[in-house]
Amino acid sequence: MDPVDPVDEEAARLYRAKVWGGADRTLWRTQVDGTVGTRLRELADWAESSGHGEGPLDTYGDGLVEELERRVAEELGLPAAVFFPTGTMAQQVALRCWAGRTGSPVVALHPLAHPEVHEGGALAAVSGLRTVHPTDAPRLPTAEEVRDHPEPFGTLMLELPLRDAGFVLPSWEELTAVVEAARERDAVVHFDGARLWECPTHFGRTLAEIAGLADSVYVSFYKSLGGHSGAVLAGPEDVMAEARVWRHRYGGQVFQQYPAALSALRGLDEQLPRLPSYVTHARVVAAAVREALAEAGTGWFRVHPETPHTHQFQVWLPYDADRLTAASLAQAEATGTVLFRRWFTPGAGGPPGVAVTELTVAGPGLEWTTEDVRAAVREFMSRLD
């Protein structure tokens, strides 16, 4: 097969973004929907309405950035917080700080966790850390697996939810048992909470109760809260003081970050209170997708988890990924409705001959009824005949 021309692929990506972003009806809007002008105007309007419009600009992490750090520390019930330009940097720093305190460069985490799959081996290449895997099952490790792991480790990192396994979460009892198992081994616990904001509904606990189980927590602003970029690392004051030193060393002491900080504060005000409704409606959408696919006579398919743990879940179908993506695009072009977006061939461990996509239910999706979802699935499937 001839290699894909990167210029053509970039043109195709931009075209997909234009079609999906310009659709009249969708379950969610992504961070690349819209234009520079519309996004900046929306943020400026919110700054004025919230009282931030006449405030001073930040310089090297003061002002709005400090306000955001205080707000997140309060939401998570943790002593201190530090803003980072990226989550990758925040977690590099967190795990490096804990390695210095525990005397162990070994981090136990899932092989599907973000640092293992999406960061190019950065933990080892940049920070000299080594990883071990208590389990390779498509779920977070159990207390027994943590307790019985044959190698010593200084930090247990848990991604909540585990995105690449289908945005899955353990039960509250399982989570507390895993944390206790790590404590029994004198290990510290770090939560990769990029999507922690939407976990309270599943656990039946507040953000502070969830975060309170861990020694440190990272949260993202653009994944669930609609922020432009940025992340916060929260935890004990002495660890966060060291984290500020490493942030500078890693190149994260950015001169001004007020657009990112403003958009994060806006997300905390506008999106965070709505996330429970998104999670609840995602369960309605998932059930409707499952019913419509069964009625369509698709044969094998999978909606995973059957009852979503957050406002995001996976759909698997027995077709080529490019064919499914083309059908998704054609549906949006013809009807102005976006149900699915891009499809992917699963990595190692996935069954052959299938493709997977991720569905997110956010504000726009609350307007979709069960029949709306079923009708959109039927229309989409008709494009595969």
Residue 72 confidence (pLDDT) above 60: yes
Predicted model pTM = 0.94
Q: Residues with Cβ < 8 Å from 52, sequence gap 6 or more? A: 46, 64, 262, 265
Greater confidence (86 vs 21) lies with: 86
- The residue with tokens 């090297």 is 60
Give the number of C-alpha atoms closer than 13 A to the C-alpha of residue 239, restricted to the C-beta side: 25
Residue 350 confidence (pLDDT) above 80: no
Residue 355 confidence (pLDDT) above 50: yes
Q: How far apart are CA 382 and CA 385, in angstroms?
A: 6
Q: Residues with Cβ < 8 Å from 280, sequence gap 6 or more? A: 201
147-154 long-range CB contacts below 8 Å, 24 or more apart? 147/181, 147/184, 147/185, 149/108, 151/106, 152/104, 152/106, 152/185, 153/104, 153/106, 153/107, 153/108, 153/185, 153/187, 154/98, 154/99, 154/102, 154/103, 154/104, 154/105, 154/106, 154/107, 154/187, 154/188
Confidence of residue 349 (pLDDT cuts 50, 70, 90): low
Least confident of 109-123, 286-300, 348-362: 348-362
